[in-house]
């Protein structure tokens, strides 16, 4: 396998990111989104996250994007501002090759370095064992399963919640409000 570079995503990566995500939306259950967003919408989402100071990364090989990951707000209320939700998607040809772990570990490191305290994985479909195993390998603990919370492809799907602390900030003193 060619060398993999993990780097911050750029606007020029958005078409490839859009293609990777579209396949997930249309073919799989990792996301409960039902219609694939276009490049314009994915650019808007990218800008909202990066303008907010959240990490947004790609895995690149031979000049092409093989996967991406980002952290974003867990919930909109201000008390949650030190907790993020992560998302990670890989092109099918690059799944189960260790690239997801490289992306997730870098995402964790960058989130911790920015002072964030907790990361939550909201995994679509309790049958999504590869994602559950990936998060467990990256230090996430199983928090629980919300049964039958999403309807996609004519069937009810569970949502799995996993969580991990981020660096020393997770147990340190609280910041002033």
Instruction: Please report the domains of the chain, with CATH numbers, ordered by start residue.
Output: 5-170 (3.40.630.30)
Distance CA 114, CA 18 (A): 27
Residue 53 has pLDDT above 70, yes or no: yes
Coil, helix or strand at residue 99: helix
Residue 175 has pLDDT above 80, yes or no: no
Which tens digits make up the pLDDT trace of 133-174?
A: 999 999 999 999 999 999 999 999 999 999 999 987 556 666
Across the chain, what does the average pLDDT equal? 93
Q: At 113, list the tokens.
A: 């370095």
pLDDT for the residue numbered 95: 87
% of the chain exceeding 90 in pLDDT? 87
Distance CA 135, CA 115 (A): 20
pTM of the model: 0.93
Residue 42, CA distances (Å) to 14, 45, 49 in order: 7, 5, 11
pLDDT for the residue numbered 1: 58
Are 119 and 167 within 8 A, CB to CB? no
Q: Among 12-16, 96-100, 106-110, 152-156, which is the least confidently predicted range?
A: 96-100
Compute the C-alpha angle 142/143/146, nearest 5°.
110
- DSSP 8-state symbol, 62: T
Distance CA 98, CA 75 (A): 29
Angle at which helices 14-27 and 39-51 cross, to 10°: 110
């Amino acid at each position: 396998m060619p060398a993999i570079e993990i780097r911050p995503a750029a606007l020029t990566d958005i078409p490839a990111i859009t293609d990777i995500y579209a396949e997930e939306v249309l073919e799989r259950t990792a996301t409960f989104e039902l219609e694939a967003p276009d490049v314009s919408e994915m650019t808007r989402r990218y800008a909202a996250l990066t303008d907010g100071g959240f990490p947004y990364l790609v895995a690149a090989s031979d000049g092409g994007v093989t996967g991406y990951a980002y952290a974003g707000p867990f919930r909109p209320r201000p008390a949650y501002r030190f907790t993020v939700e992560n998302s990670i998607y890989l092109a099918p040809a690059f799944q189960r090759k260790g690239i997801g772990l490289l992306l997730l570990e870098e995402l964790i490191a960058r989130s911790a370095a920015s002072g964030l305290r907790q990361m939550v994985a909201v995994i679509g479909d309790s049958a999504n064992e590869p994602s559950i195993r990936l998060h467990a390998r990256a230090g996430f603990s199983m928090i629980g399963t919300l049964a039958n919370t999403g309807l996609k492809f004519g069937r009810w799907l569970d949502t799995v919640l996993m969580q991990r602390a981020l660096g020393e900030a997770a147990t340190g003193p609280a910041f002033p409000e």
